[in-house]
Structure 1
Amino acid sequence: MLKLYWGFLIFLFVFVCHAQEKQVTVYWTEQPIVLDGMLTEPQWARAIPAKDFWQYFPTDSVLSKNNTEIKMLFDKKYLYVGIAVEAIGNDFIVPSLKRDFRARGNDNITLIFDTFNDGNNAFVFGTNSEGVQREAFLSGGGADNSDFNDSWDVKWENITKLYDDYYIAEMKIPLSNFKFREGETHWRFNSYRFDTQSNERSVWVNIPQNQSVISLAFAGDMIFERPLEKTRVPFAVIPYISGDIRKDYTLNQSDQSFSVGGDAKIPLGNSMNLDLTINPDFSQVEVDEQVVNLTRFEAFLPEKRQFFIDNADLFGGFGNTQANPFFSRRIGIAKNLDDENIENSIIAGARMSGKLTKNLRIGLLDIQTAEDRKNEIPTNNNAVIALQQKILDRSNIGFIFVNRQVTNDPDFLAEDETFNRVLGMDFNYLTKNNIWSGKAYLHKSFIPGDDGKSFSSGGFLGYNTRFWKFNFGSTYIGKDYQADLGFVTREDIFTIDPVATRIFYPVNSSINTHTIELRSNLTFSPDLDFLLTDGMVDLEYQIQFTNQTSIEMALNHTYTYLLEEFDPTRSDGLTLPAFTDYHYTKFDFTYRSDLRKTFSYSFRTDLGQFYNGEKYSLLGEAGLRIQPYFVASIKSSINYVTLPKPYATETILFIGPKFDITFTKNLFWSTYIQFNSLDEEFGLNSRLQWRFKPLSDLFVVYNDNYKTTPVSPGGRALTLKLTYWLNI
């Protein structure tokens, strides 16, 4: 009877903790806080902490093993955060001192601030036990990791201090870094923590494991002791000077250049910002990872240029992965006469984005690119208008207009290339508890002489509960739909994409979860009487172990009807003829080791049929850390594609080692080497970065490129760039 009584009390406690809304009060302070990692000021004693974190992993139904307490204060200029993080020891994992670390395999605490209480967008600040900072902008409701943009950068301060079985972090975040309404007294807030020693991830407001740990559907309340005043957001000027020396060994030409330009950030109240750029230079941007693409379609690469990052979801969140009307990487890149991507200089640009009212976001962008007569590239004006109106609990309706317009009259330009426009509307649906999600969109493109089949439409509806997930999507892209500033995989398609997932949660097992997923994709050609051109059925089984290793197995059957000739080996051999079809089946196996280990790795193998032949693939990643100063990693793949004669057989190899050295929190050296046998090129990018002041950097970048058949130098460049962030 006594056991039953205590069991009932425990159940009641858990039920009450789940049911009540958590909140933390942010107290006003007249005296500024000095960051020392001690929390000894009397103001901290007054603050009542946010505490009682819940486990998210390995389970989500008990309180965290180790306490985490977060206190908050504020004054006219700053939000002060004091965090006490308990642990079972001081064997913390800190792979690197470099800013914007990844959370997995790292002891850290992260804070999420939903300043407009809309459950869609939030500001993220985090630190680890060594005081390394990271910040990010969260969009799309935090449905998955793609909504987490850590390229967003702002100035703020952080100090941590280690003790025997805990550490204390003190943050001083300018209120001007947040967007919020004057007079606001309430923000939504959550926090998550990675504790590698206890093999635990925890959250302040409980989040079910079937939901993302960054989901904005789950948050408590930050209550400010007095209304927030209008903040003075500083006017920022970010000039740069850059010089480089280049040599093209293929043409036996040397070149030197020197450029000056910069950006400006002009605040428009608490919620809007105007970004300006003149002659921007992106030579310091981290090099893209090469992708071995054996499909018939273009690969998507993420945007990394800082000018395009702020509120990037407002401009780039329209449509879907098959038909996105605006993809910022199109600006500043163009095709030369050999249909190769080359840099197309940006003359100047302006970008305004933010909240116009509590529920209305607005984005305006206008960028002018230069003429390149040698490569028959005209000067273009690239403009975007984006609006997003919140409706219901967490949903919104969006409107976008994209315009690319040639602003001169070159003699090499065809009439149908003078402009391209896209007009569209999206509806994004999220329920308060994130069980249902959905999207619907309709876009129309305009080019000179289009015949009307220039629409794109589609959407999906998703259902997500603890044990079951369902998703059904569909996309239509007309044969004349064209988005020059967007990302469109191909035209003249109608697709349906059903997915069903069942999740199991074993009790008292070394397995945390195991999942069975069945997904399918069917693609038809509307212009060919809805001929089936592509079909796929994929059955997957995934196991997530409590020690953070995982296994995935998949059986995949694919159907392809070629509308154009195609060489699956990419070897310039005999192509498979158009208007032929193929059925092929393969088996995939993936293993991922525990990222907490000094040496971690993953590998994937694909075995099976490929078009009219076979393909055997092995893809691997490995990482070694000597914390916190050195991380070495490598990505590699080998694809052996064999087709029956007279078609080709080819071995495609990619290898990409990377070395990161962090001498201090302000001095970093990164070297990335890539070899891709498809391109027959060997490339090296080495970048030294000295952050001599907050967000002010000196970069030294060395690039080297070699042709491999035969081995010969291709191009070499040394770039020196200085940027300085000045607040006025």
Structure 2
Amino acid sequence: MRKYILSILFFLLSLSIFAQKKNEAYQLNIQRTTQPMEIDGIMDEPGWQEAQVATDFYMVLPMDTSSAKVRTDVKMTYDDHNLYLIAICYHALPGRYMVESLRRDFAFGKNDNFLLFMDPFDDQTNGFSFGANAAGAQWDGLMYEGGKVDLSWDNKWTSVVKNYEDKWIFEMAIPFKTIRYKKGITKWGINFSRLDLKTTEKSSWAPVPRQFPTASLAYSGILNWDQPPPAAGANVSIIPYALAGVTKNYAVDTKNTFRRDVGVDAKIAVTSSLNLDLTVNPDFSQVDVDRQVTNLDRFELFFPERRQFFIENGDLFTNFGYQNLRPFFSRRIGLGTPIHFGARLSGKLDKNWRLGVMDMQTGAVDELNLPTQNFAVVALQRRIFSRSNIGAIIINKESINYEPIADITKPRYSRYNRNVGFEYNLASSNNVWTGKAMVLKSFSPGVSGEDMVYAGNLLYAGKRWNIGAQYEYVGKNFNPEVGYVPRRGYMKLNTQIKHLFFPKGTKILSHGPTLNSTNFFNTSFRATDNENYLLYSITFRDQSVLGAWVAHDYVQIFELFDPTRSGKDSLALFSRHSWNSWGTEFISKPQSLFTYAFRTRYGGYYANGTRLNITGEIGYRFQPYVSLSVSSSYDDINLPETWGRTDFWLVGPRLDVTMTNTLFFTAFLQYNEQIKNVNVNTRLQWRYKPASDLFIVYTDNYLPAPFAVKNRALVLKLTYWWNL
């Protein structure tokens, strides 16, 4: 097994040696302006008249073989405090622009938009993204893994969008204190992206192959500074909050519980590229609630992190491993327990080295017999070759004042849990080859042996072919208490092959099959699970998508599991189950004010039963102020013996009202018949200053039958971003 991992590692290394930077010929020169700049969407300042123009964009979609038909011009300049950009986005067809709303961090594919992708270290791996849709809604995020954008990041910058009959203009100012960059570097990676839904054209300044997102930093051009960007200077931000709230638990008929809390976050720039974040008594009551899903899985479900403190440079910690093989998962910290304080040092040491150190202290919870605990994580990453890197991570969870619990009826906790891991990440210069090889080991009291993880994958992403393979071994005693590894004691082999055809002169943009095979084995290499899945998908030129699939599943049961997840009987241990199923899916074109999507699934299920699933979503927008959507899922499960028929609905209507791009109201209802709960969540957010907010959040939970309140809460929270 170790030889297998090493062979993958050396093969990946050999692919990286010959890497060269792409799109180096696309260069934009930026020079300092000495005149004041006003962010008003009007290009009348002398600084704009003197700035070089980035134009003649290239089409990425529908095809990447020609220049863009929709014209976009971009200029950039700077002064002692801010980086400025103005983009003139011309119309190619008459008619109104297409947007969802004024909601911040909008869905990329449903809005006419312009985006900036910026790589201040020119390492083609990490950076920042800023932009707006045609109505002025802002977009900002941290870039990681060479082309992904985490929109949970939020910081201070300003922008304005002005609309004209033949164009819309986006102008912005990004304070140098907002971003991280290495002092003295005069070449940054840069690219600009434009999506015009009327023509269904996506374009970029530096050309990007159609199989990759325009965010791919492997294909960025170069921003040449006339002199090194100015040092941000003393960069300290203090972000205090004050909170008042009331909660009531009707299930046990308690009195109202009142909350009065204060806390503070601080951001301190140790260098222009290394940041220290501190938090004392943080509160995350304003964070969006998790979107509920129908749970028919045998293992724990994954829900993404939404708390701001854990976001910046979070990929250093949370992206170590794979989607279902994560040694560190920040949601294990402070959900159900109070966080007293925490610190995180993260960022770039230089062009090649990245460092992340985090320490969090949680409080005791007496009713759970849970003591004060400390969580410490150290991650180090070294860039090698063009875009690849090697990384190491150490995770330590320690119970403070540990006392063994003699009473077996009380919840138990460990004295400590530690994980150590190493990985190599491949990213070829043209992004066609990507992959990973990793090893992990856990340390827990009284446990030794079979506590290792070995895994590796390799993916080829061409224009017509997409071929990948992944291998995992997880020992039965591997114990990541601060991670997300829902399954242990297995070996897994996954392969995928996808091919696309590009017909000419039709309404179809591309079509082709995808074959996916996933096989699980126990550590003696005996088959326990497998799924073979064949999908045929058609993408139309209007960006609607139609697909149909067939699948075969085989499962052997090793733990108690109710296949309805509704409190009925469990399947017999070691019983074997296999079935065939089929389904369809359709996503409508994003240009319409009315959008819809549906997915169906029908076929066999456990214990020779059947399962029907119908999932749909419809939406309508009164752009740019109101967006309505309803998602629903219906399951009908028929099983023999004691289960009989089980059916349940999951329905989630949502209302987004954006009065301005600084005043938002969201109402979200979730009716989950499977867990017998109705959840109502409403949030009013007023961004009265950049990155400073007033939140009013109201939450209700009900029993659906008989309809009765379980609990409710009202929270008022005020935050203020103060730059020293």
Do they fold alike, i.e. is TM over 0.5?
A: yes
Cα offset, 1:411, TM superposition: 5.1
Partner of 1:131: 136
Cα distance in 2 between the residues matched to 1:123 and 1:38: 25
Distance in 2 (CA, whole Å) between partners of 1:189 and 1:150 is: 18
TM-superposed CA distance for 1:574, in Å, is 2.2
Partner SS, residue 218 of structure 2? coil
Other structure's SS at 1:184 match: coil
Aligned to 1:181: 182
> Which stretches of structure 1, 4 residues or more, deviate above 6 A after TM superposition?
413-416
Cα distance between partner residues in 2 of 1:506 and 1:233: 57
Deviation of residue 712 (structure 1)? 1.9
1:647 to 643, 658, 665: 643
1:166-177 maps to which residues of 2 (within 5 A)?
166-177=167-178
Q: Does 1:119 align with 2:120?
A: no
Residues 483-494 of structure 1 mapped to structure 2, 5 A cutoff:
483-494=480-491
* Alpha-carbon distance change, 648 to 573 in structure 1, aligned in 2, over 3 angstroms: farther
**What SS does structure 1 have at the residue aligned with 2:595?**
strand
Contact 2:35 2:45 in 1 (8 A): no
Check whether the contact 1:89–1:166 (CA below 8 A) recurs between aligned residues. Answer: no
Structure 1 residue 42, shift from structure 2 partner: 2.2
2:43 to 16, 39, 42: 39
Q: Is the 8 A contact 1:416 1:449 kept in 2?
A: no
**Which stretch of the first structure deviates more once superposed, 99-108 or 388-397?**
99-108
Which residue in 2 is equivalent to 1:512? 509
Q: Deviations over 1:394-439 (max 9, x none)?
A: 0000010000000123453888711000001010001001111110
**Which residue matches 1:441?**
438
Q: Give the letter aligned to residue 134 of structure 1.
A: W
- Answering whether residue 402 of structure 2 is matched by residue 409 of structure 1, we say yes
Is residue 363–residue 371 contact of structure 2 (8 Å, CA) maintained in 1? yes
Aligned residues of 1:571 and 1:648 also touching (Cα < 8 A): no
Query: d(CA) in 2 for partners of 1:654 and 1:410?
Result: 43
| 1:327, distance to aligned residue in structure 2 (A) | 0.6
Q: State the shift of 1:498 in Å.
A: 0.7
Residue 19 of structure 1 and its aligned partner are, at CA, apart by: 7.7
1:3 alignment partner in structure 2: none
Q: Does the 8 A contact of 1:37 with 1:169 survive in 2?
A: yes
Match of 2:33 in 1: 29
Give the Å deviation of 1:76: 2.1
Over 3 Å counting, the alpha-carbon distance change for 1:416 and 1:654 in structure 2 is closer
Q: Which residue of 1 aligns with 2:370?
A: 377
Which residue number in structure 2 is paired with residue 535 of structure 1?
530
Equivalents in 1 of 2:288, 2:344: separation in Å?
A: 23
Query: In structure 2, what is the equivalent of residue 345 of structure 1?
Result: 338
Name the counterpart of 1:596: 591
Aligned-partner residue type, residue 670 of structure 1: T
The one-letter amino acid of 2:488's match is E
Deviation of 1:64 (Å): 1.0
The 1:407/1:362 distance shift into structure 2, 3 A limit, reads same
Q: Which one is further off, 27-36 or 618-627?
A: 27-36
Aligned partners of 1:501 and 1:516 also within 8 Å? yes
2:23–2:220 contact (8 Å) kept in structure 1: no
Corresponding residue for residue 358 of structure 2: 365
In the TM superposition, residue 377 of structure 1 has moved relative to its aligned partner by 1.4
Distance 1:77 1:651 in 2: 60
Correspondence 1:224-373 to 2 at 5 A: 224-254=225-255, 255-333=257-335, 343-373=336-366
Does residue 427 of structure 2 align to residue 430 of structure 1?
Answer: yes
Whether the 8 Å CA contact 2:23–2:207 is kept in 1: the answer is no
For 2:10, the equivalent position in structure 1 comes to none
CA distance in 2, matches of 1:302, 1:200: 31
Q: Which one is further off, 440-449 or 55-64? A: 55-64
TM-score, normalised via structure 2 length: 0.94
Tell me if 1:500 matches 2:497: yes
Measure the CA separation in 1 of the matches of 2:463 and 2:412.
55
**More deviation in 643-652 or 101-110?**
643-652
Q: Which residue of 1 aligns with 2:677?
A: 681
- Give the structure 2 partner of residue 576 of structure 1: 571
Aligned ranges 1:658-669 → 2 under 5 Å: 658-669=654-665
Distance 1:233 1:634 in 2: 47
SS at match of 2:669: strand
Aligned partners of 2:155 and 2:28: how far apart in 1? 25
Q: Deviations over 1:83-142 (max 9, x none)?
A: 111103351122211211122121110000011111111200001222221101111111
Q: Deviations over 1:497-547 (max 9, x none)?
A: 011111111111101111211110110110xx2221110111111110001
Aligned partner (choices 649, 653, 658) of residue 657 of structure 1: 653
Q: Where do 5+ consecutive residues of structure 1 fail to align? A: 1-17, 334-342
Matched, 1:477 2:478: no
What CA distance in whole angstroms lies between the structure 1 residues aligned with 2:473 and 2:415? Answer: 26
8 A Cα contact 1:233 1:270, kept in partner: no
Q: Counterpart of 1:633?
A: 629
Find the residue that maps to 1:374 and give its secondary structure: helix
Cα pair distance change 1:233/1:578, threshold 3 Å? farther
Query: In structure 1, the residue corresponding to 2:367 is in which secondary structure?
Result: helix
State the partner residue of 1:523: 520
How far off its partner does 1:708 sit?
2.2
Partner deviation per Cα, 1:354-388 (whole Å, 9 max, x = no partner): 00122100000000001011111121000000000
Contact 2:369–2:412 (CA under 8 A) maintained in structure 1:
no
Tell me, which stretches of 5 or more residues in structure 2 are unaligned? 1-21
User: What CA distance in whole angstroms lies between the structure 1 residues aligned with 2:412 and 2:557?
Assistant: 31
Say what the alpha-carbon RMSD is for the aligned residues. Answer: 1.4
Paired with 1:64 and 1:713, the residues of 2 have a C-alpha distance of: 56
**Residue 167 (structure 2) pairs with residue 161 (structure 1):** no
Quote the Cα distance in structure 2 between the aligned partners of 1:715 and 1:592: 37
2: CA distance between counterparts of 1:233 and 1:603?
Answer: 52
Q: Provide the rounded CA distance (Å) in 2 between the counterparts of 1:723 and 1:519.
A: 47
